[in-house]
């Protein structure tokens, strides 16, 4: 069976989207669905290419038994022809993804959405950027993402 491919996207690809990727991978493992999916994350920006996720996010996720293993990369036009779903963390990411797609790709393969379209518990319409804030912001991002990533899986099941 063809795998479903999902790309989570934020700005730097060191905080929110690697966390979303790891939460989704963890959820798929718990549900026995790993084989059916390809999961990745990327940033719209290029500053952190090749770096591990922010240690504050890795530590916060580790406390929930979620391992963040990804290395940062930047989204490319090829991603629009590879991924079934491209899920943005906030409105700015969403616009930048759409702009890149409109400039570079003529096909409509990928479904581009905001991850918070799938929220149920939290009201936040965007995943807030925790990078310049305190440690509690990282836990809050994980709480939000556990809710909306779960909602996303339910929406496609």
Q: At its nearest, how many Å lie between ligand 4NP and the CB of residue 127?
A: 8
Known catalytic residue at 15: no
Q: At its nearest, how many Å lie between ligand 4NP and the CB of residue 3?
A: 26
CB-nearer residue toward ligand 4NP: 48 or 101: 48
Q: At its nearest, how many Å lie between ligand 4NP and the CB of residue 30?
A: 24
Q: At its nearest, how many Å lie between ligand 4NP and the CB of residue 11?
A: 3
Known catalytic residue at 10: yes
Known catalytic residue at 117: no
Which is catalytic among the residues 16, 56, 58, 119? Answer: 16
Which is catalytic among the residues 40, 54, 129, 147? Answer: 129
Chain residues that interact with ligand 4NP, rule: CB under 6 A: 10-16, 47, 129, 131
Print the SS3 string covering the chain: CCCEEEEEEECCCCCHHHHHHHHHHHHHHHHCCHHHEEEEEEECCCCCCCCECCHHHHHHHHCCCCCCCCECCECCCCHHHHCCEEEECCHHHHHHHHHHHHHHCCCCCCEEEEHHHHCCCCCCCCCCCCCCCCCHHHHHHHHHHHHHHHHHHHHHC
CB-nearer residue toward ligand 4NP: 36 or 133: 133
Q: Which are the contacts of 37, defined by CB distance < 8 A and separation ≥ 6? A: 3, 4, 5, 6, 24, 28
CB-nearer residue toward ligand 4NP: 4 or 100: 100
CB-nearer residue toward ligand 4NP: 117 or 126: 126
Catalytic positions: 10, 16, 129
């Amino acid at each position: 069976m063809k795998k479903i491919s999902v790309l989570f996207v934020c700005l730097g690809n060191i905080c929110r989207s690697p966390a979303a990727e790891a939460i989704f991978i963890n959820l798929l493992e718990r549900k026995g669905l790993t084989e059916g999916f390809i999961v990745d994350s990327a940033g719209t920006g290029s500053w952190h290419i090749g770096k591990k996720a922010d240690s504050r996010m890795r530590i916060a996720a580790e406390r929930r038994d979620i391992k963040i293993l990804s290395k940062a990369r930047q989204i490319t036009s090829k991603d629009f022809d590879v991924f079934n779903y491209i899920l943005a963390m906030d409105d700015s990411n969403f616009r930048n993804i759409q702009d890149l797609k409109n400039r570079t790709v003529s096909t409509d393969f990928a479904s581009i959405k905001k991850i918070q379209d799938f929220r149920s518990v939290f009201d936040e319409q965007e995943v807030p950027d925790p990078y310049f804030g305190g440690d509690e912001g990282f836990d809050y991002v994980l709480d939000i993402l556990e809710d909306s990533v779960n909602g996303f899986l339910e929406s496609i099941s």
